[in-house]
Amino acid sequence: MRAMSPPVGLPMLAESDLVRQVARRLTDAIVQGRLAPGAKVAEAAVARELGISRAPVREAARLLESQGLLKASPRRGFFVRELSAQDVDELYALRLCVERHAAVEAARRLTPALREALRRQLDLMRDLARRDDPVAIVEADYQFHRLICEAAGNARLLRLFDGLASELRIVIGLIGRLYDDSDEIARTHEPVLEAIEAGHPERIVAHVDHHIGVARREVGRLVRSLTPHPERDAEIP
């Protein structure tokens, strides 16, 4: 008899909008490292833990596959996607294009309210660092960058950024492993915000290039250092 996989702490769900709720729970588990790259997402185990049928779990897995978080393997199921060094490089190249433009436009459109929102997000990252909550910090990191894209006032640009969101969440989760000092993540955002507040396009682009470039280099190094392995048949750890 096949052994049941142990739970990973997924909370019970309400009946409404189950597919998106399941997708969100699985996304959180991936970003937090409870579902590691290459791990199998076992439909039966997830459904049992969430107290639902397998159908919404399967649909959620398909949704996350379309977003780049999961990869389907014929007759084997869904696995957490493993990012290669090339994947990371391509993703950061696109991020640079999007966020350079977004930051310059955000500076041009900066209002006291937008400035305050960005400052609050930076303060939140510092507060989370004091609480030693690295998972919440990397989510706050993602939200900081999204706020800049929102401030740019370009709906198409924001949709493009959101289209990268799933892969960015995996990468930002990796960033959390680059710093022994959690407060370092917040500190690396300060020069970017100061440049936006100052409003000088060349300075903004230089700081965005440095900020994202450091992450691009370090995450690429981290991905290359990880020992490659085939997709594991192990169910949720």
- Name, of 24-28, 52-56, 85-89, the range with top average pLDDT: 52-56
User: Average of pLDDT values for 102-119?
Assistant: 96
Beta-carbon neighbour count of residue 56 at 10 Å?
21
What is the distance between the alpha carbons of residues 119 and 102, in angstroms, rounded to a whole number? 17
User: Average of pLDDT values for 200-204?
Assistant: 96
Using the predicted structure, report yes or no on whether residue 218 has a pLDDT greater than 80: yes
Q: What is the pLDDT of residue 228?
A: 53
Q: Which of 23-27, 48-52, 82-86 has the least mean pLDDT?
A: 82-86
Q: What is the pLDDT of residue 234?
A: 39
pTM greater than the 0.95 cutoff: no
Q: What is the pLDDT of residue 232?
A: 45
Task: Kindly report the average pLDDT of the chain as a whole number.
Answer: 84
- Asked whether the beta carbons of 43 and 68 are under 8 A apart, the reply is no
Domains in the chain with CATH codes: 18-80 (1.10.10.10), 85-225 (1.20.120.530)
User: Average of pLDDT values for 42-53?
Assistant: 92
Q: Which of 100-114, 190-204, 208-222 has the least mean pLDDT?
A: 208-222
What is the distance between the alpha carbons of residues 160 and 233, in angstroms, rounded to a whole number? 34
- Measured at the CA of 234, the angle between CA 232 and CA 235, to 5 degrees, comes to 125
Q: What is the pLDDT of residue 149?
A: 96
Q: What is the pLDDT of residue 183?
A: 77
Using the predicted structure, report yes or no on whether residue 170 has a pLDDT greater than 80: no
